[in-house]
Amino acid sequence: MNDETLRRKISAIARESLQSAASRVVLLPHAKQQMKKRKVLLTQVYDTLIKGVVVEHAHRDIKGCWKCTLSHLTAGDRVKVAAALCLADDGEIVVVITVMN
C-alpha cells in the first residue's frame, strides 16, 4: 500500500468514527498518556487523522498492520500521530499508537 492510499483509508475511518456511535478509532494507553503529557486534545488527534499528511512512510508490521505517521497543524500546534490500519473482526480499524507535538 502506498502513502496516499493509507492516508485516505485512515482519513475515511476517522471521519466515519466522528459521525458514528461505534468508533473504529482505538487509542492505545500510551497514546492517551502522551496526549495528556503534551496537552493534545482528542479533537486535534482526529483532525490530524482526517487532514494530516504522511511524514513517515507507510510500512507493514509483523502483524500485518499498515503503519505511518501523520502530521497536521491544528489549533495552533503541529501534531504528529503514529497510526496503524489493522484488520479487526468487523472490518478495518485505526489504532493510534502515539501522539507527538
Average confidence (pLDDT) over 35-62: 96
pLDDT tens by residue, 66-98: 999 999 999 899 999 999 999 988 899 999 999
The answer, as to whether pTM is greater than 0.75, is: yes
Q: Which helix (H) or strand (E) holds 51?
A: helix 42-51
Average confidence (pLDDT) over 29-51: 96
- DSSP reduced 3-state for 75: coil
Question: How many domains are there within the chain?
Answer: 1
CATH of the domain at 51: 3.30.2310.40
Strands in 12-90 per DSSP E: 25-27, 53-60, 66-74, 77-88
Please give the residue range of the domain that contains residue 39.
3-100
Q: Are 14 and 43 in contact (CB under 8 A)?
A: no
| Residue 50: closest CA among 23, 94, 80, 11 | 11
